[in-house]
Amino acid sequence: MADRQGLSDLLRPVRGRLLAAMALQASAALVGLLPLIAVAQLAPLLLAGELDLEQARFWLLAGAGALLLRLLGLAAALQISHLADSDLQRQLRQRIAAHLSRVPLAWFGRQRETAERALLDDVGAMHQLVAHLPNNLVAALVVPLASLAYLLSVNLVMALVVLLPPLLALWRLRAMRSMDYREERQRLGSALGALSTATLNFVQGIAMVKSFGRVERVQEDFASAVRGFGRFFSEWVERWAGLGASVEVLLSPLLVLALVLVAGVPLVAAGWLPATQLLPFALLGPALAAPVAALGHGADSLVQGRAAAQRIATVLATPVLVQPAFSLEPQGHRVTFDAVDFSYPDGTRVLRGIDLQLQPGTLTALVGDSGAGKSTLATLLARFADVSGGAIRIGGVDLRDMDSATLYRQVAFVFQEVRLLRASVLDNLRLGRPEASLEQVEAAARAAQIHCRISTLAEGYHTLLDGQVQLSGGEVQRLGIARAMLSQAPILVLDEATAASDPESEAAIQQALSQLAVGRTVLVIAHRLSSIQDADQIVVLQAGELVECGCHQALLQRQGVYAGLWAAEQFCATPASGGQS
């Protein structure tokens, strides 16, 4: 019921046009039957020689007009439904994009694939559901009912004969609505996904395993995946292929025509049915079956469309960050974490009672084991999510009392994974400050040690970053630093950008970061303690709690958690010594 409601809500903007298209489809379907009925009615007159030339001309013109109206009606119905589909896809993409722009950034870390699938795949998957299925459903109902009403008026026994195949086909198709079939379809989709993953792993890993002389291992893994899918698919076909084949046979026009002859000829021979009355059943009998076949073919489209609509509705139902009615301006740049708690939506608690102050112009480093909550605490300052308890304030103003534009004038962030838009270098750097002049952009790029590399690109700052331009990880990182520099935000959140850099890039990035941090309040997530010895304060997190805070020397003298982390790092950094044998 929930998925039906979700689908109904998504279709509301185009519901009127779909109803209009369905009305045109119904009219076209009814008009399309008139020439067949006219032939069935006129055949006895023609055989008896009672049809004159004027009558024949009239019915010929009427039939041609009916066919023309049918074609015009079908074309108009399809045009309306396709335009409705186009408008709906545009509206849905705009709705999803607008909604995602207000969703907490932390959500994307866990649900990025969901968002990408909704925008790229699920919206397009509704095409059959909107553009074709409503019209097909109307045809599947109107044509058989109208044909059946006419045939019942001709002969009850023969009407039941031609009705038998579509009824049997519908009975067979009921299996497609069963839970077993739906589960099997899901298993088939999962098996195809697993085979695709195994293929991708084989292609991506072949070079590496060959370098270790283990190509037989990856080949065997891939071959095993192929054999497993082959066994599953054979079982699937064995169980379900008969269903489709039997339905195709039952809905075949040749089968209907054969039934008309097999049942009708004995009735004619016995004198219970005029021979001319076989014609309506031969002409309209297949009309009872063909739309049911279209309905069967549309069942998968309906299932896929409803599943896509449900996923879209789920994305649109994602809670958003509430924006204040009136945004407050912070007074100064002091950052205060006041009894901050944070839990994920599933209830997992990540941070507990964090009290911390970042004084203007100071460097604060967050350290601790993996999973201690460092990244979560840092991203909360950029309001990637809202705190579950307590408050974070800048200049005395709660982050929740600032709109996004005000907040991001105060806070810039540079993480290890910098994302670039499919746009020019200039637009990428201006992302946080669109009004910046080219001279200001170049100054930021020089400070970030990336201007020279940009100058070597084919069109310099106007070069489109579309995947064709090859940039190293260190160069992308420096573009992110230049973007943060250009923003002029007084507070900087920094996930140690050199953690995954090669030595050559590390020096340039460190120099760029030094320029970036001048005069700013910096909160850095430290992965190497040796890089933050000179920090104004070092905050040690353990299992989501702040357990120590102070400068490097003070924490070492305390002989607590930080001293243990420092000792472990120094031990790992000491070259192993030993004699040669």
Same domain assignment for residues 227 and 349: no
Same domain assignment for residues 232 and 348: no
Pick the range with the lowest mean pLDDT from 4-13, 342-351, 437-446, 527-536. 4-13
Mean pLDDT value of segment 495-524: 68
CATH number for position 200: 1.20.1560.10
The answer to whether residue 329 is domain-embedded is no
Tokens of 409: 């004038």
Alpha helices, DSSP H, located in 177-318:
179-211, 215-250, 253-269, 278-316
CA separation for the pair 58, 378 (Å, rounded) = 83
How many domains does one find in the chain?
A: 2
Confidence of residue 510 (pLDDT cuts 50, 70, 90): low
Confidence of residue 298 (pLDDT cuts 50, 70, 90): low
CA separation for the pair 390, 454 (Å, rounded) = 44
The answer to whether residue 328 is domain-embedded is no
Task: Evaluate if residue 215 carries a pLDDT over 70.
Answer: no
What pLDDT, on the 0 to 100 scale, is given for residue 547? Answer: 92
Same domain assignment for residues 311 and 362: no
Nearest residue to 415 via CA among 525, 515, 516: 525
Tokens of 62: 């009427």
What pLDDT, on the 0 to 100 scale, is given for residue 393? Answer: 95
What pLDDT, on the 0 to 100 scale, is given for residue 310? Answer: 80
Query: pLDDT tens for residues 360-404?
Result: 888 898 998 888 888 889 889 988 888 999 999 999 999 999 988
Find the domain containing 289 and state its range: 2-316
Same domain assignment for residues 64 and 112: yes
What pLDDT, on the 0 to 100 scale, is given for residue 251? Answer: 74
| Relative orientation angle of helices 278-316 and 215-250, to the nearest 10 degrees | 140
Same domain assignment for residues 303 and 361: no
What pLDDT, on the 0 to 100 scale, is given for residue 61? Answer: 81
Task: Evaluate if residue 580 carries a pLDDT over 90.
Answer: no
Burial class (CB within 10 angstroms; exposed 0-12, middle 13-18, buried 19+) of 353 = middle
Confidence of residue 578 (pLDDT cuts 50, 70, 90): very low
CA separation for the pair 11, 312 (Å, rounded) = 12
The answer to whether residue 325 is domain-embedded is no
The answer to whether residue 98 is domain-embedded is yes
Confidence of residue 579 (pLDDT cuts 50, 70, 90): very low
The answer to whether residue 446 is domain-embedded is yes
What pLDDT, on the 0 to 100 scale, is given for residue 23? Answer: 92
Query: pLDDT tens for residues 250-270?
Result: 777 778 888 888 888 888 888
The answer to whether residue 310 is domain-embedded is yes
Same domain assignment for residues 398 and 534: yes
The DSSP element (H or E) to which 40 belongs, if any, is helix 15-47
Name the average pLDDT for the chain: 79
Same domain assignment for residues 347 and 307: no
Same domain assignment for residues 251 and 344: no
Task: Count Cα neighbours of 435 within 13 Å in the Cβ-side half-sphere.
Answer: 1
- Rank 9-18, 295-304, 333-342, 517-526 by mean pLDDT and report only the highest: 333-342
Same domain assignment for residues 548 and 422: yes
What pLDDT, on the 0 to 100 scale, is given for residue 577? Answer: 44
- What is the residue-wise DSSP string for 301-369? HHHHHHHHHHHHHHHHTS--PPPPSSPPPPSS--EEEEEEEEE-TTS-EEEEEEEEEE-TT-EEEEE-S
The answer to whether residue 578 is domain-embedded is no
- What is the residue-wise DSSP string for 112-148? HHHHHHIIIIIHHHTHIIIIIHHHHHHHHHHHHHHHH
The answer to whether residue 303 is domain-embedded is yes
CA separation for the pair 247, 284 (Å, rounded) = 19
Task: Evaluate if residue 354 carries a pLDDT over 90.
Answer: yes
The last residue of one of the domains, among 289, 316, 343, is 316
Confidence of residue 505 (pLDDT cuts 50, 70, 90): low
Secondary structure class of 431 (helix, strand, coil):
coil
Query: pLDDT tens for residues 61-106?
Result: 877 888 888 889 889 999 999 999 999 888 888 888 888 777 777 6
What pLDDT, on the 0 to 100 scale, is given for residue 177? Answer: 58
CATH number for position 451: 3.40.50.300
Same domain assignment for residues 232 and 262: yes
What pLDDT, on the 0 to 100 scale, is given for residue 218? Answer: 58
- What is the residue-wise DSSP string for 57-119? HHHHHHHHHHHHHHHHHHHHHHHHHHHHHHHHHHHHHHHHHHHHTTS-HHHHHHHHHHHHHII
Give me the residues paired with residue 398 across strands.
393
CA separation for the pair 8, 156 (Å, rounded) = 40
Please, are residues 337 and 354 in contact by the beta-carbon 8 Å criterion? yes
The last residue of one of the domains, among 316, 350, 381, is 316
- Find tokens 């026994």 and name the residue: 157
Query: pLDDT tens for residues 517-535?
Result: 777 888 988 877 877 888 8
Same domain assignment for residues 345 and 295: no
The last residue of one of the domains, among 271, 289, 316, is 316
Q: Which amino acid is at 340?
A: V
Query: pLDDT tens for residues 195-208?
Result: 777 776 666 665 54
Nearest residue to 499 via CA among 351, 375, 335: 375
Pick the range with the lowest mean pLDDT from 147-161, 212-226, 351-365, 401-415. 212-226
Pick the range with the lowest mean pLDDT from 28-42, 329-343, 431-445, 447-461. 28-42
Same domain assignment for residues 284 and 377: no
- Rank 136-145, 206-215, 228-237, 542-551 by mean pLDDT and report only the highest: 542-551
